[in-house]
Amino acid sequence: MNVRDTVPLPPFLNVIRSSSRLSYMQEQFMLMAIEKAREGVKEGQEPFGSCVVKDGKVLSLTNSTITQDNDPTAHAEMNAIREACKTIRFPDLTGCEIYATFKPCEMCMEAIKRAGISTVYYGAGPGDVKYPTLLMELNIRSGIALDECLELVSVKYSSLK
């Protein structure tokens, strides 16, 4: 039986936590992500792996490369999304599944949604370990050069003004 995640998510993003109903191939995809994470650890990277799969075919298999790339966004899942899009030469992964060794963070979840991926499989999550909470305060100012900025997006969005 699949156990739904307790964190509210948009209905189109289906998080499947239980491994009891995974097929042999799905288990293999997760094992591949785990092995990739292990490779990364050997190279001094964070212990996370991920892969993107479509119709049983692996489009990408990546690990976290934050320190290697000096890129705080180079999480395993972000890398997997980037690589998968390069593989298919298209910025839309609708119909794909993503496997991750750890529950994707908010940045990665948003990227997963924006990529069109609708199914996430992950291994461990923040509820399984002592997990640090980001407590940094973010100062945000908005409405700066509003008219010019609105003009930029007018080709994409209708103004509410």
| 103 touches Zn ion (CB under 5 A) | no
Minimum separation from the CB atom of position 108 to Zn ion (A) = 3
Q: How far is CA 156 from CA 53, 91, 116, 152, in A?
A: 31, 18, 19, 9
Torsion (CA) 83, 86, 92, 93 in degrees, nearest 10: -40
**Number of residues binding to Zn ion, judged by CB under 5 A:** 3
77 is catalytic: yes
Candidates 36, 75, 82, 103; binder of Zn ion (CB under 5 A) is: 75
Going by their DSSP bridges, the two strands 57-63 and 14-16 should be labelled as unpaired
> What secondary structure does DSSP assign to 76-145, as a single string?
HHHHHHHHHHHHHTSS--TTEEEEEEE---HHHHHHHHHHT--EEEEEE-GGGS--------------TT
Interface segment toward Zn ion; rule CB under 5 A; list 81-89, 108-116, 119-127, 148-156: 108-116
Candidates 5, 105, 113, 116; binder of Zn ion (CB under 5 A) is: 105
Residue of 27, 43, 46, 77 marked catalytic: 77
Is 79 or 118 the residue whose CB approaches Zn ion more closely? 79
| 32 touches Zn ion (CB under 5 A) | no
Minimum separation from the CB atom of position 23 to Zn ion (A) = 26
Chain positions contacting Zn ion, by CB under 5 A: 75, 105, 108
